[in-house]
C-alpha cells in the first residue's frame, strides 16, 4: 500500500507540473510560437496518460477509450515539434491530420466496444510499433537537418541538433524502462519501482527540454525547410582557379564576419549558383560550408588573440562572426586542439 500511495502522489505531482509547463509554454513570449504550442499540446496529452496514476478507470467507454488511445498522439506531436524546432518555415497542413489516424481508429474501437483483452493486446503492439516508427522518423529528420545546416549556414545550429538528439535519446532510454517494466509486471514490487523511476525520469527530461527551449531562444532559430541536400559528385569539373578566387575573396572581403552568413548570401556575392559553390567547397576542401567558414573565423580570431591582448575572448568571438561563446570554444578547439585562452597564453 505504501508503494501504491507513493506512485499515486508522484502521479499527481507530474500531472500538475505538466499542466504548469503547458501553460508556461502557451503564454511565454517567443518569436516562434509553433514549437511551443506543439510541445504544450504534447504535454497536455501526456497529462491524460499520467492521470491514470491516481484516477480510477471510468465506467464511460468513450472517456476510457480516449484516455488509452491518447497515447497514440504523443509521438506524432513530438515528431511535429522536432520539425517545427528545426525549420523556421515549417507549418501545419491538413495532411498532418493523418498522424492522428491510429488514435481515431482506436478511439472509435475502444469507445464503442470497450477494452477487451484482444483489443488491449492489439493496442499494445500498435503503440510500440508506432513509438519506434516515429523515433526513427525523428532521427532521420535530425540527420537531414544536420546535413542542411552544415551545407548552407555558418551560424551555429549544431546546438539545436545536439539538444534535440540528446532529448530523443533520453526518450528512448525512458521507453526501455517501460519495456522492462512490462516484462517484469508479474513482480509487483519491481514493477512499481520501475514505474516510479521511469516517471521521475520522464519528468526530468521534459522539464529540461522545456526550460532549455524557453531560456535559450537561439536554439529554435531554425533553418529553411525547402533546402535540398547537395548530391555528392564523383568527379568535379571545377577548376582549382575557382577555389583560388573563393579563398581570395574570403581573405580580402571577409564575408565570414557576418554571423548570419549563408551559402545563398555568399553565392550571390561570388556570382555563382548555390549548388556550384557548395560542390566547390565540398569537393575541393573536403569541408561543409559551416566548417569552411569557421576555419576563416578561427584563423582571424587567432590573429586577434595574438596581436590585440586588450580584447577579451568574448569581444573577439563576436568580432569574427560567432554568436555564442560555446560555439566559438567548440570550433576553436576542434581547429587548434586548445581553448582560445590557452592559445593566447602560448603566443603572447
Can you tell me the distance from the alpha carbon of 173 to that of 318, in angstroms, rounded to the nearest whole number? Answer: 38
Question: Contact, 106 vs 65, CB < 8 A?
Answer: yes
Helix (H, G, I), strand (E, B) or coil at 223: strand
Give me the pLDDT at residue 208, please. 75
Q: What is the pLDDT of residue 47?
A: 82
- What the block records as the C-alpha cell of 8 is 499515486
Which pLDDT score, from 0 to 100, does residue 152 have? 87
Given this model, what pLDDT does residue 348 score?
A: 67
pLDDT at residue 247, as a whole number: 92
Q: What is the pLDDT of residues 311-330, one digit of tens each?
A: 999 999 999 998 888 888 88
pTM: 0.80
Residues 6+ apart with CB under 8 A from 7: 53, 192, 195, 196, 199
pLDDT score recorded for residue 55 = 64
The size of the chain, in residues, is 348
Calpha distance 5→260 (Å, rounded): 54
**Whole-number pLDDT of residue 293:** 93
- What does 280-327 look like in DSSP terms, one character per residue? HHHHHHS--HHHHHHHHHHHHHHHHHHH-TTS-HHHHHHHTT---HHH
CA dist 303 and 311 (Å) reads 12
pLDDT in the model for residue 127: 92
pLDDT at 72: 95
pLDDT of residue 41: 92
State which residues of the chain have pLDDT below 50: 1, 235, 238
Amino acid at each position: 500500500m505504501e508503494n501504491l500511495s507513493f506512485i499515486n502522489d508522484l502521479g499527481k505531482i507530474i500531472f500538475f507540473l505538466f499542466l504548469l509547463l503547458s501553460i508556461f509554454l502557451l503564454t511565454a513570449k517567443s518569436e516562434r510560437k509553433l514549437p511551443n504550442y506543439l510541445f504544450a499540446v504534447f504535454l497536455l496529452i501526456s497529462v491524460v496518460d499520467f492521470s491514470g496514476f491516481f484516477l480510477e478507470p471510468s465506467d464511460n467507454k468513450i472517456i476510457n477509450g480516449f484516455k488509452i488511445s491518447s497515447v497514440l498522439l504523443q509521438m506524432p506531436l513530438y515528431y511535429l515539434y522536432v520539425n517545427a524546432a528545426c525549420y523556421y518555415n515549417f507549418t501545419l497542413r491538413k495532411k498532418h491530420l493523418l498522424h492522428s489516424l491510429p488514435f481515431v481508429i482506436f478511439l472509435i474501437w475502444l469507445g464503442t466496444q470497450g477494452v477487451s483483452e484482444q483489443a488491449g493486446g492489439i493496442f499494445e503492439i500498435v503503440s510500440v510499433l508506432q513509438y519506434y516508427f516515429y523515433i526513427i522518423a525523428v532521427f532521420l529528420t535530425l540527420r537531414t537537418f544536420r546535413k542542411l545546416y552544415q551545407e548552407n549556414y555558418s551560424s551555429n545550429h549544431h546546438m539545436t541538433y545536439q539538444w534535440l538528439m540528446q532529448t530523443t535519446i533520453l526518450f528512448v532510454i525512458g521507453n526501455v524502462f517501460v519495456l522492462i517494466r512490462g516484462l517484469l509486471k508479474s513482480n509487483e514490487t519491481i514493477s512499481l519501482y520501475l514505474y516510479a523511476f521511469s516517471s521521475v525520469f520522464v519528468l526530468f527530461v521534459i522539464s529540461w527540454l522545456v526550460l532549455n527551449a524557453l531560456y535559450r531562444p537561439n536554439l529554435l532559430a531554425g533553418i529553411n525547410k525547402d533546402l535540398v541536400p547537395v548530391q555528392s559528385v564523383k568527379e568535379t569539373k571545377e577548376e582549382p582557379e575557382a577555389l583560388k578566387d573563393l579563398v581570395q575573396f574570403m581573405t580580402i572581403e571577409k564575408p565570414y564576419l557576418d554571423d548570419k552568413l549563408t551559402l545563398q548570401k555568399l553565392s550571390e556575392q561570388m556570382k555563382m549558383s548555390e549548388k556550384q559553390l557548395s560542390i566547390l567547397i565540398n569537393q575541393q576542401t573536403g569541408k561543409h560550408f559551416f566548417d569552411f567558414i569557421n576555419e576563416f573565423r578561427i584563423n582571424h580570431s587567432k590573429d586577434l588573440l595574438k596581436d590585440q591582448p586588450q580584447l577579451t575572448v568574448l569581444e573577439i568571438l563576436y568580432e569574427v562572426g560567432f554568436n555564442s561563446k560555446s560555439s566559438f570554444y567548440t570550433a576553436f578547439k576542434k581547429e587548434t586542439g586548445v581553448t582560445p585562452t590557452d592559445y593566447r597564453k602560448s603566443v603572447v
